[in-house]
Structure 1
């Protein structure tokens, strides 16, 4: 694993360096977190031969100093686009979790040339669910995740700062109520929507809704996993990403 500041903010790199003609896998973390909880998945993808980049989004964790305040979803997507250009990446396989899915959708909608395939794992937030209920569901999810993830998340939240986390949550709620579904409707690349079987934040109906909004949507469920399926079941997620990347357009749902 290579740890460095790339393209303007902190990035973890796994596997071989990005190569021309070979899609790089980019993993986008959720609200207030860092890319650390993607490390198990990144290692497995790299072992399969993929080039994997895992940035800490500006304002978060080790990229906290890259933003003077908590960026909103659109600002995160813009920063990710600048990072993409500076690194000279071609169309990437973009894999996101939770609120990171909103950032990924904003990037794919605004810069379709940058994203070749999209994986939305545990996509939040569902605009039909009130904010207080979203918080309650997050608490409900906590005991379903590995204890190591809980410790990692708390550490990241403290580094990012609780006030910034709260501001990012407000930004995410506004995006969910306004731009998120509109961005999904502008996505025309193959998109895989992944739900952990025991994820209380992402209902099967919301999964179907997202899949219906994108132009080429498919679904998958990870047995025994909750909201952070990429962390608790990295082997299953790596297999899903590999098979999805290998499938042609219009492959099986």
Structure 2
């Protein structure tokens, strides 16, 4: 792994430059976090031969100084598009978790030329679920995750700052209510929607709905995992992604 910082956005890089015709993989973290909890998956994808970039979104963790306040979902998507241009990337395989799925959907909808395929892991937030219930489900998820992830999350939230985390949550709720599903309907890149079997936030019905809204969507479930399935089951996730990228459009559901 090596790191770079451009425009205030801290980025972890794994693997070697992709061969012709192979996309770079970009991993997008959830609310208030950093890319650290994507490192196990990034290492496995790099071992398969992929070039993997893991940015900390502006205002979060080691990119906290890149934003003077908590950015909205739309602002995160714009910043990610600018970061994409700075790194001279072609169409990428975009993998996102939780609220990061809202950022990924906004980017794919507004800049379809930047995204070749999309993987949404534990997509949040379901607009049909009240805000208080979302918080309760997040608390319910905590003991289902590896203890080490709890330490990473707490550390990242403290670096990002709890007031910013709260502001980002409000922004995410607003985006879920007004924009997320509309963005999904504009996504035509092949999309895989993944949930951990024990994920209380991304229910099976919501996961199926997310997949049904995009132009070419399919679903998968990882046994024994919860909301951060990419962290607790990185080998299974890497295998799913490898199979997904090998399938053509309209592949297995």
Determine the C-alpha separation between the residues in 2 that align with 1:166 and 1:18: 38
Aligned to 1:247: 247
Residues 158-206 of structure 1 deviation map (CA, whole Å, 9 limit, x = unaligned): 0000000000000000000000000000000100000100000011110
CA distance in 2, matches of 1:7, 1:88: 14
Would you say the 8 A contact 1:93–1:116 is kept in 2? yes
Aligned to 1:194: 194
Where does the alignment leave 5 or more consecutive residues of structure 1 unmatched? Answer: none
Shift of 1:22: 2.2
Which residue pairs with 1:95 in the alignment? Answer: 95
Report what 1:76 is aligned to: 76
1:20 shift after superposition? 5.0
1:78-123 Cα deviation digits (max 9, x unpaired): 0000000111100000000000000000000000000000000000
Which runs of structure 2 are paired with 1:121-136 in the superposition (5 Å)? 121-136=121-136
- Unmatched tracts of structure 2, length 5 or more: none
Displacement of 1:4 after TM fit?
A: 1.6
Q: Secondary structure at the match of 1:10?
A: strand
The aligned runs of 1:12-91 (5 Å cut-off) are: 12-18=12-18, 21-91=21-91
Match of 2:164 in 1: 164
> Which whole-Å CA distance do the structure 1 matches of 2:2 and 2:30 have between them?
21
C-alpha separation between the residues in 2 aligned to 1:80 and 1:20? 23
Q: Say whether the 8 Å CA contact 1:108–1:114 is kept in structure 2.
A: yes
The 5-angstrom pairing of residues 6-17 of structure 1 reads 6=6, 8-17=8-17
Q: Alpha carbons of 1:53 and 1:169: their partners in 2 closer, same or farther (altered >3 Å)?
A: same
Give TM-score, length-normalised by structure 1.
Answer: 0.99
Structure 1 residue 21, shift from structure 2 partner: 3.1
Is 2:98 aligned against 1:119?
no
- Provide runs of 4+ in structure 1 moved above 6 Å: none
- TM-score normalised per structure 2: 0.99
